Amino acid sequence: MIHRPPPSSLADLQARADALRGVSLGVLAAELGAAIPEDARRSKGWIGQLVEAALGADGGSRPEPDFAGLGVELKTIPVTKDGRPRESTFVCTAPIEGAFEGAWLESRVRHKLAHVLWVPIHGDHEGTLELRTIGVPKLWVPNPEEDAALAADWLLLSELIAGGELHRINARLGAVMQLRPKGANAADYAWMIDDEGGWVRAVPYGFYLRTRFTAKLIAG
């Protein structure tokens, strides 16, 4: 697949993203010489990687922003025909091995979300991948209210992990952000000692943004 060179500036990135509005994934894949997967269920990350290639994301699978030079993270987000997100959005994994990250300002979550390019993907998930289309991309920087909401959830959830209170972790916690399993499958776990001194299974967790939060971000 052809991978375009990285954008030279924020304006360049914005312009390239805007140029993708309304383009179908079939057309985009053809332009980049990418093969379209037969089975959408087995191609969960394909759309994200296609858009990365189209926009020249250079972060690769390293723990850096997708557009390293610009400090911008790219997120594709599946939306319904009225533009509402279908799914929550994965942010990053949560360090389960005791390593408390320190302050919110230094956290991986905040670094990931400092500057995000949201690219909505429209389309029926029963249909084929190539008929889905790209919506209106939006560059986002958290405003003070959004940052405060994220910080509050991050503190709540991080303290549960740091305190070994794994049995209290579930996806219901957090107003705008939650912790959910992020492993290969249910067999993906480690054993560790929790706050009560007993051995417990520790599945890998990830931070996810709730649908109702991302809905506000990509609207208007």
Partner DNA sequence: GACTGATCATAG
Partner DNA sequence: CTATGATCAGTC
Instruction: Answer yes or no whether residue 16 interacts with DNA by CB under 7 A.
Output: no
Chosen residue from 5, 185, 199, 220 binding DNA by CB under 7 A: 185
Torsion angles phi and psi, residue 199, rounded to 5: -75, 130
Number of residues that bind DNA (CB under 7 A): 53
Residue bearing tokens 């417990």: 200
Q: Which stretch binds DNA (CB under 7 A): 137-145, 160-168, 192-200, 201-209?
A: 201-209
Q: Which of 20, 76, 122, 158 binds DNA (CB under 7 A)?
A: 76
Backbone angles phi, psi at 192, to 5 degrees: -150, 170
Q: State yes or no: residue 114 binds DNA (CB under 7 A).
A: no
Q: Does 24 bind DNA (CB under 7 A)?
A: no
- Which is nearer to DNA, 120 or 164 (by Cβ)? 120
Task: Please tell me whether residue 48 binds DNA under the rule CB under 7 A.
Answer: yes
Q: With contact defined as beta carbons under 8 Å apart, do 21 and 72 qualify?
A: no
According to the binding rule CB under 7 A, does residue 113 interact with DNA? Answer: no
Q: Shortest distance, CB of residue 104 to DNA, whole angstroms?
A: 18
Where do the DSSP E strands lie in the chain? Answer: 73-79, 89-94, 116-122, 133-134, 138-140, 177-181, 190-193, 199-202, 205-209
- Going by DSSP bridges, is the β-strand pair 190-193/199-202 parallel, antiparallel, or unpaired? antiparallel
Q: Which residues contact 128 (CB under 8 A, 6 or more apart)?
A: 36, 40
Q: Residues in the site for DNA, rule: CB under 7 A?
A: 40-45, 47-49, 51-52, 59-63, 66, 73-78, 80, 84, 86-90, 92-93, 121, 125, 170-172, 178, 180-188, 203, 206, 208, 210-212
